[in-house]
């Protein structure tokens, strides 16, 4: 297929092209539309027909089966494809990237800004972002890193885009993005694992499954709200609820005897290292 000519049309400077229309892209698209972005300014390239149809039906955005067609319509590209497919996708977009010099935002885990810039032909403004799955509810958080080619307007554009699904944290050192992935990108799974274990333990102590689930869900939700709304350190909130020689202290001592802090540290480290491996494996 012939590469679209960006000079053949008038580009909306606020237009965004999503390359990939999976769950995270869908959340961002929904956030943009809800905040008043024109539906005509959102273009999505997605190879799966069912996903394309759902995006067009649910949000009224323009959909394409070819990434180049979507990218030619926008100055901002959001790459939302699997890390393993990123190099191939970028190679197809490289001629257009050299012609248009877009702002490129990637949400692929483990793929560095330097890799993206190289695969797109060089001299490209790249923001690497790592949102997490609570973005599906508008309650996520994203770590962002910008390469040296991203100007103030580009940082604002990327931050605004990611803020549609939650908070944002800018990271100065890209090497720390693998830790962002390990802490917040993978982090919801850690909370789900704790909730799963708490429910199983509650049932083992004789609680009915539905009662155990209700208690665990509201406890996790309430504790998260206390952390977010009180602005107190987690250690201080834990101290306040831990009465000397009480039930909470007994549980905390069991956690600590099992090496809880060390286990969490090892888990975060393993996830961080895996992010680095993904980068090397896809280079």
Q: CA-CA distance, 25 to 54, in Å (whole number)?
A: 13
**92 lies in the same domain as 73:** yes
Q: CA-CA distance, 252 to 278, in Å (whole number)?
A: 36
Q: CA-CA distance, 275 to 253, in Å (whole number)?
A: 33
**99 lies in the same domain as 129:** yes
Give SS3 for 256. helix
Q: CA-CA distance, 128 to 180, in Å (whole number)?
A: 11
- Gap between the terminal Cα atoms of the chain: 26
Per-residue pLDDT, 279? 74
List of long-range contacts for 273-279, beta carbons under 8 Å, 24+ apart: 273/178, 274/110, 274/182, 275/109, 275/110, 275/177, 275/178, 275/181, 275/182, 276/110, 276/178, 277/110, 278/83, 278/109, 278/110, 278/111, 279/110, 279/111, 279/112, 279/115, 279/178
**105 lies in the same domain as 226:** no
**268 lies in the same domain as 137:** no
- Above pLDDT 70, what percent of the chain? 95
Per-residue pLDDT, 9? 41
Which of 150, 177, 204 represents a domain boundary (last residue)? Answer: 177
Domain span at residue 261? 187-279
**261 lies in the same domain as 121:** no
**133 lies in the same domain as 105:** yes
pLDDT classification of 282: cutoffs 50, 70, 90: confident
Q: CA-CA distance, 125 to 151, in Å (whole number)?
A: 8
- Does residue 259 sit within a domain? yes
- Does residue 129 sit within a domain? yes
pLDDT classification of 136: cutoffs 50, 70, 90: confident
Per-residue pLDDT, 13? 53
**28 lies in the same domain as 117:** yes
Q: Which two tokens stand for residue 243?
A: 């009465």
In this predicted model, what pLDDT tens digit does every residue of 146-167 receive, in sequence order? Answer: 999 999 999 999 999 999 999 9
The strand pair at 125-130 and 103-106 is best described as parallel
**132 lies in the same domain as 29:** yes
Which of 127, 155, 177 represents a domain boundary (last residue)? Answer: 177
The CATH number given to whatever domain includes residue 54 is 3.40.50.720
Closest by CA position to 171, among listed 186, 161, 158: 158
Entry pTM: 0.86
DSSP state of 71: H
Q: CA-CA distance, 76 to 117, in Å (whole number)?
A: 14
Tokens 């961002």, residue? 28
Per the structure, the count of domains in the chain is 2
Give SS3 for 175. helix
- Does residue 1 sit within a domain? no
Residue 2 reports pLDDT greater than 50: no
- Does residue 47 sit within a domain? yes
pLDDT classification of 110: cutoffs 50, 70, 90: confident
**19: which strand partners?**
45, 79
**124 lies in the same domain as 213:** no
Closest by CA position to 59, among listed 16, 10, 4, 14: 16
- Does residue 275 sit within a domain? yes
In this predicted model, what pLDDT tens digit does every residue of 261-279 receive, in sequence order? Answer: 999 999 999 999 998 888 7
**168 lies in the same domain as 191:** no
In this predicted model, what pLDDT tens digit does every residue of 17-52 receive, in sequence order? Answer: 999 999 999 999 999 998 889 999 999 999 999 999
**193 lies in the same domain as 112:** no
pLDDT classification of 7: cutoffs 50, 70, 90: very low
Which of 125, 150, 177 represents a domain boundary (last residue)? Answer: 177
φ, ψ of residue 113 to 5 degrees: the values are: -65, -40
Q: Say if residues 276 and 83 touch (Cβ distance below 8 Å).
A: no
**121 lies in the same domain as 195:** no
Mean pLDDT of the chain: 92
- Does residue 182 sit within a domain? no
Per-residue pLDDT, 12? 53
CA 17, 105, 224, 259: dihedral to nearest 10 degrees?
Answer: 140
How many other CB atoms sit within 10 Å of the CB of residue 91?
12
The CATH number given to whatever domain includes residue 199 is 1.10.3730.10
Give SS3 for 2. coil
């Amino acid at each position: 297929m012939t590469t679209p000519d960006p000079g053949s049309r008038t580009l909306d400077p606020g237009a965004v092209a999503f390359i990939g229309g999976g769950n995270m892209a869908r959340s961002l698209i929904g956030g943009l539309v809800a905040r008043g972005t024109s539906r005509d300014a959102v273009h999505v390239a997605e190879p799966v027909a069912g996903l394309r149809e759902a995006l067009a039906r649910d949000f009224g955005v323009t959909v394409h089966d070819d990434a180049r067609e979507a990218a030619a319509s926008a100055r901002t590209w959001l790459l939302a494809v699997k890390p393993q497919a990123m190099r191939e996708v970028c190679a197809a977009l490289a001629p257009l990237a050299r012609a248009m010099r877009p702002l490129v935002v990637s949400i692929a885990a483990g793929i560095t800004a330097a890799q993206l810039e190289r695969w797109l032909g060089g001299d490209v403004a790249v923001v690497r972002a790592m949102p997490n799955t609570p973005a599906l509810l508008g309650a996520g958080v994203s770590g962002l890193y910008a390469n040296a080619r991203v100007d103030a307007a580009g940082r604002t554009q990327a931050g605004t885009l990611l803020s549609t699904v939650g908070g944002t944290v800018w990271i100065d050192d890209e090497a720390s993005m693998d830790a962002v992935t390990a802490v917040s990108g993978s982090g919801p799974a850690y909370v789900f694992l704790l909730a799963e274990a708490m429910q199983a333990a509650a049932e083992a102590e004789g609680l009915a499954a539905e009662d155990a689930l209700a208690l665990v869900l509201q406890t996790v939700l309430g504790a998260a709200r206390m952390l977010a709304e009180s602005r107190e350190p987690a250690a201080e909130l834990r101290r306040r609820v831990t009465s000397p020689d009480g039930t909470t202290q007994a549980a905390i001592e069991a956690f600590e005897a099992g090496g809880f802090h060390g286990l969490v540290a090892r888990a975060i480290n393993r996830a961080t290292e895996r992010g680095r491996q993904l980068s090397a494996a896809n280079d």
